[in-house]
């Protein structure tokens, strides 16, 4: 008797939704960025859980690719935050609206 | 058996607590530290799922590289005590919370109301051997060689993009 797969999926759903709530409610660009990382990790947990329960290693390779994309996203995203901060002296997403209208 | 359940509950509680703390903290440094705790809990969960290599990779890549980068940028921009950014309860945050709660309901409902073949009841017998460096490496450099090479191209583009974006002037 092991921990059932559905528990892992529910945990992953909770983590993903926490990330969504953070993206929708926070205004600090870096915190929003960290919430995106949290969502990526929730999906990784789903992939690993299915990989172990189905006996197929493909899910684990996918997790590595997701990590690589997350690393690339981290580098570019933080560079954008630095560039924005240099121009506006803030990371408040509500005041960054040059492209809005 | 019991130990596995205990570990799962402990790690799940830790993961959810740190995730919620992360979006509730006002100080971005505290948010980052909460997220690091979350990554450690997830790495331990990967171990529970017998994905040893990914557990190590999670700590090295996420905690060791990505979060260090995030904390570095937080320090660089000196965001420690940002009073102007104090988040006030607004219509948007309540709507956002409601939308997120709706999404959670949807996800759980899909999981428990779905039809079709059921979920596998227990871990696959071969799951112990597929999380090793050898098994993951064989898959990555065999079946997934082309996506692997494309990923290196993506990382190169990210390096160039980050340098260009963060530079004061070219």
Q: Read off the CATH number of the domain in which B48 is found.
A: 1.20.120.1200
Residue B81 predicted with pLDDT over 70: no
Q: Tell me: do B5 and B66 sit in the same domain.
A: yes
Query: If you average pLDDT over residues B98-121, what whole number do you get?
Result: 85
| Domain total of chain B | 2
Q: Tell me: do B10 and B72 sit in the same domain.
A: yes
Inter-chain residue contact A57 with B130, CB threshold 8 Å: yes
Residues of A in contact with B165 (CB under 8 A): 76, 79-80, 82-83
What band does B84 get if pLDDT is binned at 50, 70 and 90? low
- pLDDT at B41 (0 to 100): 95
| CATH code for position A74 | 1.10.287.3510
Q: Is residue A44 part of a domain?
A: yes
Q: What is the ipTM of this complex?
A: 0.91
With 0-12 / 13-18 / 19 or more C-beta atoms within 10 angstroms meaning exposed / middle / buried, residue A55 is: middle
CA–CA gap between residue B137 and residue B152 (Å, rounded): 16
Residues of A in contact with B149 (CB under 8 A): none
C-alpha distances out from residue B93 to A22, B24, B98, B104, B167, Å: 9, 12, 9, 16, 34
Q: Is B69 on the interface with A (CB under 8 A)?
A: yes
Q: Is residue B4 part of a domain?
A: yes
Determine the structural domain holding residue A61 and report its residue range: 5-88
CA–CA gap between residue B61 and residue B39 (Å, rounded): 10
| Domain total of chain A | 1
- pLDDT at B83 (0 to 100): 56
Structural domain ending residue among the three candidates B43, B60, B80: B80
Crossing angle of helices A5-25/B91-113, nearest 10°?
160
What pTM, to 2 d.p., does this model score?
0.90
Q: Any residues with CB less than 8 A from the CB of A74 and at least 6 apart, and which?
A: A33, A37, B65, B66, B69, B70
What band does B170 get if pLDDT is binned at 50, 70 and 90? low
Q: Is residue A22 part of a domain?
A: yes
Q: Tell me: do B70 and B136 sit in the same domain.
A: no
Count of CB contacts below 8 A, A vs B? 247
Alpha-carbon Rg for chain B in angstroms: 20
CA–CA gap between residue A39 and residue A58 (Å, rounded): 20
Measured over the CA atoms of residue B70, residue B72, residue B76 and residue B78, the dihedral's sign is positive
């Amino acid at each position: 008797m092991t921990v059932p797969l559905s528990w892992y999926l529910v945990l992953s759903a909770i983590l993903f939704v926490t990330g969504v709530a953070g993206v929708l409610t926070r205004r600090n660009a870096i915190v929003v960025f960290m919430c995106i990382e949290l969502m990526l990790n929730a999906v990784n947990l789903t992939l690993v859980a299915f990989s172990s329960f189905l006996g197929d290693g493909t899910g684990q390779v996918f997790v590595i690719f997701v990590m690589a994309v997350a690393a690339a996203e981290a580098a570019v995203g933080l560079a954008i935050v630095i560039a924005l901060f240099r121009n506006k002296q803030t990371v408040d997403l509500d005041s960054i609206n040059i492209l809005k209208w | 058996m019991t130990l596995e359940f205990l570990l799962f509950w402990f790690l799940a509680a830790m993961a959810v607590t740190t995730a919620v703390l992360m979006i509730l903290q006002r100080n971005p440094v505290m948010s980052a530290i909460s997220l690091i705790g979350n990554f450690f809990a997830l790495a331990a969960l990967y171990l529970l799922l017998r994905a040893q290599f990914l557990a190590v990779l999670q700590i090295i890549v996420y905690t060791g590289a990505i979060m260090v980068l995030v904390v570095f940028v937080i320090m660089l921009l000196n965001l420690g005590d940002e009073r102007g950014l104090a988040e006030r309860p607004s219509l948007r945050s309540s709507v956002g919370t409601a939308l997120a709660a709706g999404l959670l309901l949807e996800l759980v409902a899909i999981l428990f109301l779905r039809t079709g073949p059921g979920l596998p009841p227990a871990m696959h017998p071969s799951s112990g051997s597929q999380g090793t460096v050898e098994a993951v490496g064989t898959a990555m450099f065999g079946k997934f060689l082309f996506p692997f090479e494309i990923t290196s191209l993506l990382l190169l583009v990210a390096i160039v993009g980050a340098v260009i974006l963060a530079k004061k002037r070219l």
